[in-house]
Amino acid sequence: MIRITFIICLATWCLVAPAQAQQLTKEQLQHVADDLLISTKYTAEIQQVLPIVDDLQVIVLVPHYREHPSIILLKKDKNTNTWKRTFECLSPGIEVNPLGLFDWHTTPTNTGIDFVPNNIKVNSFTDKTIVNLIETSFTVKGGVLIPYQNFVHMNTADEQSQKEFTPYTIDKTQYFDFANQLANKKHSKTDASNCMIFDTPLVQSCSLKKVEGKYQIVATTQNNQTWTYTFDGIDPNCKYLVNKKITVTKN
């Protein structure tokens, strides 16, 4: 585990998808998905496109490497009639056994590291230090920052395959507790600093609906977990899910 102290800067950002129409075309959706990839070794695979609910759309992807999201959200700006991908993406499911997803920690140049920012013992996704840290990816190009419960993961691609991409993050700040909940408290404290137990299974089914004024995404994974994300909407800067709550169950 590496401990690093950061000087943080705050940036504002959101991706505008190249569309001026009511709904994105298949080619435009593919462009948005491809724009997440940090390496030329991979091509984005869209698994499912959910129906639009209140100008919000969910796209389900096949994850190619650890820290690659399996769900992205698009929000339509009614004023400009354009679609924007949120900075925050989702990665439902925890697989305690490695699934064979590529691990950036294993590259010859060690392009993946895990570290504890400013000696924070337990991360909160809404903590100002964490928010400022992950948003440095807007200005410091080429890296992905994913906050876990007890550390932050950062990686780039290797120099040969590095490509330009649009920044994203995933809230994994409760994943150690979720892993213990799903595996009947199997994991030890030493696992808390090891992202090896957090491989992402495929999403088998996914739905988006509105329930009592709140949005709800329900994803069932290939390893029989159900992840439910409940939130009020997307913030005005198209970065985060507002007042998000995550519940997980083992089927």
Cα 129 to Cα 9, 22, 124, 242, distances in angstroms: 10, 38, 9, 18
248 three-class SS: strand
**Structure confidence at residue 16 (pLDDT):** 45
Q: Which residue has the higher pLDDT, 18 or 194?
A: 194
pTM, full prediction: 0.86
Do 69 and 148 touch, CB atoms closer than 8 A?
no
Contacts of 114 (CB under 8 A, 6+ apart): 1, 2, 105, 148, 151, 152, 153, 154, 193, 195
Do 19 and 26 touch, CB atoms closer than 8 A?
no
Contacts of 63 (CB under 8 A, 6+ apart): 69, 70, 91, 101, 200, 202
Mean of per-residue pLDDT scores for the chain: 83
Q: What is the pLDDT of residues 54-100, one digit of tens each?
A: 999 999 999 988 889 999 999 998 888 889 999 999 999 998 776 67
